[in-house]
Structures are given as C-alpha cells and as structure tokens.
Amino acid sequence: MDEQVKSVSWEAYEHAHTEKGSDWFWALGIITIAVTVAAILLGNVLFGILIFVAGCVTALHANREPQIIEHAVTSRGVQVGEKMYPYSTLDVFYIDEEDPLGPQLLIRSQKLFMPLIIMPLPEEYVDDIEELVASRIPEEFLEEPFANKLLEFFGF
C-alpha cells in the first residue's frame, strides 16, 4: 500500500448495553437488602449503609443508556472521547477479532490507574488501524481482564 493512512475515526457506544428486566432489579434489591440487614445485625452499621448506597447507585447506573463516544487512531496517538493518549505513553497493542461483541483494540498504557485501554472497532477499519498502530508501537498478545468479562456477563 503506497499511501499510508494518517488517521481513522469512528463513533461507538461507551459499553455494550444489555436491557435489564424487572427480575434483574428484583435480584439486585433482594441481595442489597439482605447484605445490608446482615451487616447491621452483625453490628457494622456503616458497612450496611455503604452496601445500601452501592446497590442504589448500581441500579441507577444499570438503567442508564450508554453514550456515543468519538474514537480515533491518528499518527499522534489514540483518542477516546476528549482524552488523547500519545504513543509515547503506550507500550503495546493487540487487536482481538474473536471477541463475541466484535473486534476490539486493546492497548497497554504506562499510566498507573488506567493500564489497559479497550476500544471497540468497526470491522471495516481493522486493517487500517492495525497498520497505523503497528508502525508506532509493538504488538503483543493482550486479553481483556476477567473483571471486565464478569461485569459484561452480569450486564454492566
């Protein structure tokens, strides 16, 4: 290919949204109340309050529709929404084309609090993105953390 791709941009949801039925919310409510009551009966009122608030926040978050976020891979770095990750702060990448939700770009960052950046990819841009990123950082096998897979399984 003579002309190299300078940038690729696309829009995608921030996460895969699964519609939750009333059974899901009933189960969450029963578990939240049971753990809250158990914590209070065992003398840990503060933990009981924390569990109750966490259950309420989880229900509110689970009912929220995901936002559409602009993604881009450029010659300068990788952009997710308003945040740009320059290639100098990125270690390695991997494109997982076998994921059940569609192809994903996984990038390991040098940042302490966000070591793995996971971006959904449109199938028509996979080769262009791989060519662009591979010319800047090395490719190494990466996989989605178990916690992410577990949260997807439970519909988060």
For the chain, the structural domain boundaries read 7-14+67-153, 22-63
What is the average per-residue pLDDT within 81-97? Answer: 91
List all residues 6 or more positions away from 87 whose beta carbon is below 8 Å from its beta carbon.
76, 77, 78, 136, 137
pLDDT computed for residue 108 by the predictor: 92
Q: Tell me, what's the pLDDT at 4?
A: 63
Residue of 1, 7, 16, 6 whose CA lies nearest to 102: 16
Q: CA 136, CA 93: separation in Å to the nearest integer?
A: 10
Architecture of domain 7-14+67-153: Roll (2.30)
* pLDDT band (50, 70, 90) for residue 5: low
Predicted local distance difference test score (pLDDT) of residue 151: 77
- For residue 90, the cross-strand partners are 109
**CB proximity list for 77: less than 8 A, separation 6 or greater:** 84, 85, 86, 87, 89, 90
Give Cβ neighbours of residue 48 (< 8 Å, ≥ 6 apart). 35, 36, 37, 38, 39, 40
pLDDT tens column, 36-57: 999 999 999 999 999 999 999 9
Each residue of 113-134: pLDDT tens digit?
Answer: 878 888 989 888 888 888 889 8
Residues 6 or more apart whose CB falls under 8 angstroms from that of 61 comprise: 156
Label residue 112 by pLDDT band (50, 70, 90).
confident
Residue 72 C-beta-side C-alpha neighbours within 13 Å: 16
- Distance, in Å, from the CA atom of 63 to the CA atom of 55, rounded to the nearest integer, reads 13
Sign of the dihedral defined by the CA atoms of residues 127, 124, 105, 89, in that order: positive
- For 13-25, what is the mean pLDDT? 84
Give dist(CA 88, CA 132) in Å, integer.
15
Mean pLDDT estimate for the chain: 88
pTM above 0.75, yes or no: no
User: Which helix (H) or strand (E) element contains residue 129?
Assistant: helix 126-134
Distance CA 67, CA 125 (A): 21
